[in-house]
Structure 1
Amino acid sequence: MAVMKSPGLAALALVLWPYCAGAGDRGPVTNLPLPRYVSMKASEANVRRGPSLTHRIDWVFKRRDMPLMITAEYGHWRRVQDRDGAGGWVHYTLLSGVRTAIVEAEMLDMLSRPEPGAMVVARLEQGVITRLSECGPDWCEVSTQGYDGWAPKSALWGVEPDETLD
């Protein structure tokens, strides 16, 4: 555990310690895997320093459907982070189990089939949010703005390299 000079922060760290599970663990509230991906249900979400309304708002996420990684749970609160590692505590009602991903590649070809050389359905710019339908070992079926197709999993943030979705 990190060394903290403020007794208030140290007390909070001790209270939250059982709720901050490591990789491969399960959340104490939902019993779902930690870490895991979700998306923003709301168009805005206050990101707080701690898991309650009394904690200071550090910033506001303002992008509906943005994928987020849940790294901890405490009551009705989830500690989340975005693809840049920015995050904090968000109330669970602002999150959705709908899986989305952000395009990481500078320009990504959405293909008609999950194989190199397939017909290009659309070209997606870096930062575009797509909805995930399914993911195999190397490819994910994605949809955005009326287009459906396949993209290499390695070009997306919001799904683990070894994760599969049905």
Structure 2
Amino acid sequence: MTLSRILYLVAILAVGTPLLAQDALSNSVNFQAGNVGSESNLPLPRYVSLKAKEANVRRGPSLTFRIDWVFQRRDMPLQITAEYDQWRRVIDRDGQGGWVHYVLLSGVRTVIVDEDRLVLRAKPSDTAPVRAELEQNVIARLGDCEGAWCELTAGGYNGWAHRSALWGLDPDPFGN
């Protein structure tokens, strides 16, 4: 039995969904990296942002599942790890997550600044002029990434920052 099946069955026992729905869900949900979503045919895992000002985070992919908490930060980056029908399993930068209806999510890419006073530079270079400094936990819109650098827009400022100081994107494919 796979880990995803075990985790799902534990969640089902806590809520009590009929056995047929358990089997359909466990066969449709895809938890392994490098796969594509059964509903969207987009890569899993992948990053999105929260479109809504508030979003209920549920234990399972249906309105009948209990709400565990509510995300309350528009544009917050989230990682989709699984899909089932119109529901997406998401996690935040702390690894906390659950199921959110897909209409509450956006393909607009954002990141969270993980470093205090992150320097935004005019070009992707440590010697480029400084345009601004961003505080930790600021949400910025993500532009292009070139190796170890990503272009960001936040608070009316635009510039380049080290991707290692950001949450909401895959590690640098070049190992920079």
Q: TM-score, with normalisation over the residues of structure 1?
A: 0.91
Amino acid in structure 1 at the alignment position of 2:83: E
In the alignment, is the contact (CA less than 8 A) between 2:120 and 2:130 conserved in 1? yes
Amino acid in structure 2 at the alignment position of 1:96: S
Distance 2:123 2:142 in 1: 15
- Bigger CA drift: 6-15 or 102-111? 6-15
Distance 2:55 2:124 in 1: 35
Residue 52 of structure 2 corresponds to residue 15 of structure 1? no
Which residue of 26, 29, 38 maps to 2:39?
A: 29
Q: TM-score, with normalisation over the residues of structure 2?
A: 0.86
Partner of 2:134 in structure 1?
A: 124
- Identity across matched positions, percent: 58
Partner of 1:95 in structure 2?
A: 105
Runs (5+) with no aligned partner, structure 2: none
In the alignment, is the contact (CA less than 8 A) between 1:21 and 1:27 conserved in 2? no
In the alignment, is the contact (CA less than 8 A) between 2:163 and 2:172 conserved in 1? no
Distance 1:163 1:94 in 2: 29
- Superposed CA deviations along residues 56-92 of structure 1, whole A, max 9, x for unmatched, are 1000000000000000000100000000011100000
Listed as ranges, the matches of 1:1-166 within 5 Å are: 1=3, 2=6, 6=13, 8=16, 11=19, 14-18=23-27, 19-162=29-172
Runs (5+) with no aligned partner, structure 1: none
- The count of corresponding residues between Structure 1 and Structure 2 is 164
Distance 1:163 1:73 in 2: 25
1:163 Cα deviation from its structure 2 partner: 5.6
Distance 1:56 1:112 in 2: 47
Distance 2:172 2:17 in 1: 36
Amino acid in structure 2 at the alignment position of 1:55: F
Distance 1:39 1:29, change over 3 A: same
Distance 1:23 1:14, change over 3 A: same
- Superposed CA deviations along residues 21-59 of structure 1, whole A, max 9, x for unmatched, are 300000000000000000000010000010011111000
Distance 2:150 2:23 in 1: 40
Moved over 6 A (4+): none
